[in-house]
Amino acid sequence: MNHKQPRRGKPNYKPPLSYKVLTPLYDLVIAALTRERVWRKAFIHEISPQTSDHILDIGSGTGSLALALHKAAPGIRYVGVDPDEDAVRRARKKTAKLKSSIRFEVAFFSASQAYFDEPPRKIVTSLVLHQVPVTEKQRIIQEVFQLLPVGGAIYIADYGRQSSWLMRLLFRLTVQLLDGVEDTQPNADGIIPVLLEQSGFRHVGEPDRIASATGVISIYAGEKLEQAEEGS
């Protein structure tokens, strides 16, 4: 329930919770309805941030993941990119008192941008991909693969396959009611690991699945073990 990344051509996105007026409620709603403490702890465990890491966060929202990463490894270099000015303003305010190298940019993610002086070895995104069209899910994952160096990894926390009738019902009554069916259903059908493998990632896994009042949130990871072939 985060924001849309740009479609081909004219950028387009949704603000947190899909409506700008709801942005002030975003952190409260996510904490109350998604078991945020549980899935975020599992996500941080999978990312395993180290003090020497350069971490890029796609769709960084109001900065909650930045705070969690800093708490786990205060020395990390972190850049969060998000097209929503309101969300970025809140993220900057939330992290203003930290002694850190955390930085936020109001922008759409693109592999052509230099976010650090060297390519980040870890790229993360949470509660973003379920809101974007399949073509945009593909673009984001493919460009992450392009940007990562060999040995780098992608980490995703997002709505995954809703395999039980209860989780499908909860997902329909919450996420799909708010964000619509067209963009969210592919996630519920399990498209994310498929896209990761199609983009070239290896050792693609789903190390954790957390059931919540809004459906199952999955943790995904994949490694880049070789460069993409020319023209692919």
How much is the pLDDT for 12?
63
Structural domains of the chain, count:
1
- For residue 5, pLDDT beyond 50: no
Residue 9 lies in a domain: no
89 CB-contact burial (10 Å; exposed 0-12 / middle 13-18 / buried 19+):
middle
Amino acid letter, residue 125: T
Range of the domain at 193: 16-223
Residue 41 lies in a domain: yes
Q: Which of 58, 32, 35 is nearest to 145 (CA)?
A: 58
Higher pLDDT, residue 30 or 9: 30
- For residue 9, pLDDT beyond 50: no
- For residue 8, pLDDT beyond 50: no
- For residue 206, pLDDT beyond 80: yes
- Burial string for 90-114 (b: 16+ CB within 10 Å, else e) reads bbbebbeeeebebbbeebbbebeee
Residue 137 lies in a domain: yes
- Average pLDDT of the segment spanning 188-203: 98
The CATH number assigned to the domain holding 215 equals: 3.40.50.150
Decide if 55 contacts 42 (C-beta within 8 A): no
- For residue 11, pLDDT beyond 80: no
How much is the pLDDT for 203?
98
- For residue 56, pLDDT beyond 70: yes
Residue 11 lies in a domain: no
- For residue 185, pLDDT beyond 50: yes
Residue 56 lies in a domain: yes
Amino acid letter, residue 54: H
